Amino acid sequence: MYNDSSSRIVARLKERIAASAPGSRLPATRALVAEFQASPVTVQKALQTLTTQGLIESRPGVGTFVRAVRTVRPADYGWQSAALGSPRAPLPAVSSMMRTVSNDAIAFHSGYPDAELLPERLIRAALTRAARGDAALSRPPVAGLPDLQSWFARELGAATPTGINPPDPSDVIVLPGSQSGLSSIISALVGSGQPLLIESPTYWGALLAARQAGVRLIPIPSGPEGPDLMALARAFAESGARMFYAQPHYANPTGSQWSAQRGEEVLEVVRANGAFLVEDDWAHDFGINTTPVPIAARDDSGHVIYLRSLTKSISPAIRIAAVIARGPARERILADRGAESMYVSGLLQAAALDVVTQPGWQTHVRSLRHQLRSRRDLLVSSLQEHAPEAHLEQIPKGGLNLWLRLPDGTDVERLSQDCERAGVIIADGTEWFPAEPAGPYIRLNYSGPNPGAFPEGARILGQALRMNRH
């Protein structure tokens, strides 16, 4: 009578296996059926369990054997250090802004907007249409789909004043996100060991791309109104640099926006030095009190290399951006992109183009402006009430972040740990400085999930700040 369950057979066979030498043969299935008075199916199930656990192995046509115990040796990758040599520059780990945290945490650290701020209906419909079209099966042109190139060119051309030649679609190179564009621009146009002027503080991804390329970073102090013009001119003259990376609109992390006059002044300095300005317009769609007008719209001589991203405003799953450059610079960037990735997914390009050409896109952007305003203002008022020690140098006119100066002597690393233990995740400002930090700073993202928790997050931050000073 079949009365032994599979689990009981497994337990009894484990005892036998433990007392057997590796390589010992187990009785045949028919013998085990008779021994345990079980069905063939039950015995086979027990043997499968033991095989999955690595205790036995089956040799077709031969039988089932006790598996030899394999001792796991510690991995030794020391040979790779000798093969690779020293890294070109100390490379940081993945930024803390890219961390994934639990859903119940109050997340102020991320650089991406919450899903409820994205045009979900437009995205899903666009992906469905793209999957049904030719883009799902064909290779796109190296520089991007012509219609998407034209869209990026028209966007910048719409802001170009009379007397300035607007960009041509052929000036556009579509990218798999602006980060890859930064890497190609720095690698192709600056090169290892050469100087690169960069705002301080600035986008951590630009610092990562520069260090990976092995360039020499020269920080330019930058405040609420933009970079120090005298320091910029002096750095060009002393270093011989031929490129300045900046974010004129809603800079990450500071939120600063240059005035039109400051943009013209910076452009004059760049032109006078026969150099390039890399204008990173990552937050073009995130205006709140103002609408950004790119500096690139006022230059047709190739001095401004313009980066425009759609990743954050459409979806982080649709990594699409573009660089607009003219002359030999464009060809060198394109050559670097070809070596890196050959081309950008036509499916993602088609989906991005579909989203931004739908009538609902402009409606979404207008709605987003109001949603960001309410979130920004809620976090600002919450901080003023619960964490007045965290000084906000300016209320940003757009973007996603607040940049806060903390009291002198604040241990920011300890503060971050104390906040995290209490369920609040903040971003240590140290990561945004190309050299030593100018002071203790943190960045808080007001576009993250659950804005209703902003007051509680500010209360926890304020309490941790006060404890930090004792």
Does the residue 216 lie in any domain? yes
Residues 193 and 326 in one domain: yes
Does the residue 104 lie in any domain? yes
The whole-number pLDDT of residue 71 equals 54
Residues 318 and 443 in one domain: no
**CATH number for the domain including 300?**
3.40.640.10
CA angle 187, 189, 192 (to 5 degrees): 45
Residues 152 and 242 in one domain: yes
The whole-number pLDDT of residue 343 equals 87
Does the residue 173 lie in any domain? yes
Does the residue 79 lie in any domain? no
Residues 327 and 248 in one domain: yes
Residues 161 and 100 in one domain: no
Residues 283 and 419 in one domain: no
Three state DSSP letters for the chain:
CCCCCHHHHHHHHHHHHHCCCCCCECCCHHHHHHHHCCCHHHHHHHHHHHHHCCCEEEECCCEEEECCCCCCCCCCCHHHHHHHCCCCCCCCCCCHHHCCCCCCCEECCCCCCCHHHCCHHHHHHHHHHHHHCHHHCCCCCCCCCHHHHHHHHHHHHCCCCCCCCCCCHHHEEEECCHHHHHHHHHHHHCCCCCEEEEEECCCHHHHHHHHHHCCEEEEEEEECCEECHHHHHHHHHHHCCCEEEECCCCCCCCCCCCCHHHHHHHHHHHHHCCCEEEEEECCCCCECCCCCCCHHHHCCCCCEEEEEECHHHHCCCCCCEEEECCCHHHHHHHHHHHHHHCCCCHHHHHHHHHHHCCHHHHHHHHHHHHHHHHHHHHHHHHHHHHCCCCEECCCCCECCEEEEECCCCCCHHHHHHHHHHCCEECEEHHHHCCCCCCCCEEEEECCCCCHHHHHHHHHHHHHHHHHHCC
Does the residue 389 lie in any domain? yes
Of the three residues 331, 358, 385, the one that is the final residue of a domain is: 358
**CATH number for the domain including 106?**
3.90.1150.10
Of the three residues 341, 358, 375, the one that is the final residue of a domain is: 358
Q: What is the pLDDT along the chain (470 residues), one digit of tens a residue?
A: 444 578 889 988 998 888 888 888 888 888 888 888 888 888 888 888 888 888 888 887 778 888 876 555 666 666 666 676 655 555 555 556 555 556 678 888 888 899 999 999 999 999 999 999 988 888 998 899 999 999 999 999 999 999 999 999 999 999 998 999 999 999 999 989 999 999 999 999 999 999 989 999 999 999 888 999 999 999 999 999 999 999 999 999 999 999 999 999 999 999 999 999 999 999 999 999 999 999 999 999 999 999 999 999 999 999 999 999 999 999 999 999 877 778 899 999 999 999 999 999 999 999 999 999 999 999 999 999 999 999 998 999 999 999 999 999 999 999 999 999 999 999 999 999 998 888 999 999 999 999 999 999 999 999 999 998 76
Structural domains in the chain (count): 3
Query: Model pTM?
Result: 0.80
Does the residue 87 lie in any domain? no
Residues 143 and 109 in one domain: no
Does the residue 80 lie in any domain? no
Residues 125 and 139 in one domain: yes
The whole-number pLDDT of residue 1 equals 44
Range of the domain at 250: 121-358
Q: How far is CA 381 from CA 354, 400, 458, in A?
A: 38, 16, 9
Residues 142 and 100 in one domain: no
Residues 351 and 379 in one domain: no
Of the three residues 329, 358, 387, the one that is the final residue of a domain is: 358
Residues 17 and 125 in one domain: no
**CATH number for the domain including 53?**
1.10.10.10
Residues 254 and 133 in one domain: yes
Does the residue 464 lie in any domain? yes
